[in-house]
Structure 1
């Protein structure tokens, strides 16, 4: 049975940088819970980042792949370099997905770790840009398909089509 790595905040855990959840509910999640497919994980918490924590964004003009390659940074709104724990978070997400045979991930969008469709610009002004967070990039680079909550029906179709 293929499993799905799911951002803990989407499952109601108050693990986001601001100490809140970003709960997603619905029949698909209920079904996947009953089937035992869900593997909850907050990559940032797994890497030891506290809750609450300073908001962090991938530096302006830098991609997640560049950060993972050592050519960019993740910075807090106060300018603190938090690249190392975010890279570790991505590594731990991949380890968890592999350990639990996850072929897919459902990750909250906009996060410097979990964003799959967009991340913030790095200016800490609330604006967004297309791109992936570090964990989403790491998972995709290793064959684990990542979906944002807005694409949950596409995830369901991919899950049904999976061998």
Structure 2
């Protein structure tokens, strides 16, 4: 069973109200091998919403209180990102997920890269809040790029 970012499964939940539609993911949904989640929406954030970035660290730092998630207007949305991460963790545990596929670059879901907190379109090598929490609990979290490299429609 996979847990996949809802925006990658065609659900319009991104901060800008958009989504992505990928044939490989749709195939798995048809086979009932996928549950979807958007940590930010699970935490009650609106669609659309202001873009947010981690300021002062990484997803791990947010979880330990050493960094914050701030939106473009300067509003601290850290609590919502942590809440969404824990709700996503609960779903992954409840459904005995084997692999989690999350949207790269997101302050929630980035598994290799996130934006640097300056809203200047600069990325840093780090994890988002949800990815950090899921990995702390032993889940295999990969980006959509890694998933598409590994996925074979015949499986």
TM-score normalised per structure 2: 0.92
Q: Could you report, residue by residue, the CA deviation over 1:14-52 in whole angstroms, capped at 9, with x for unpaired residues?
A: 1000111133333xx244224321001111101000001
Match status 1:42 vs 2:41: no
2:52–2:69: 8 Å Cα contact kept in structure 1?
Answer: yes
Count of matched residue positions in the alignment of Structure 1 and Structure 2: 153
Match status 1:113 vs 2:111: no
Structure 2 match to 1:5: 3
1:103–1:143: 8 Å Cα contact kept in structure 2?
Answer: no
SS in 2 for 1:98: helix
SS in 2 for 1:102: coil
Match status 1:92 vs 2:87: yes
What is the 5 A alignment of 1:1-163?
3-26=1-24, 29-60=25-56, 62-153=57-148, 156=151
Q: In angstroms, what is the RMSD of aligned CA positions?
A: 1.6
CA distance in 2, matches of 1:59, 1:19: 23
Where in structure 2 are there 5+ consecutive unaligned residues? none
User: Which stretch has the larger CA shift, 83-92 or 146-155?
Assistant: 146-155
Where in structure 1 are there 5+ consecutive unaligned residues? none
TM-score normalised per structure 1: 0.88
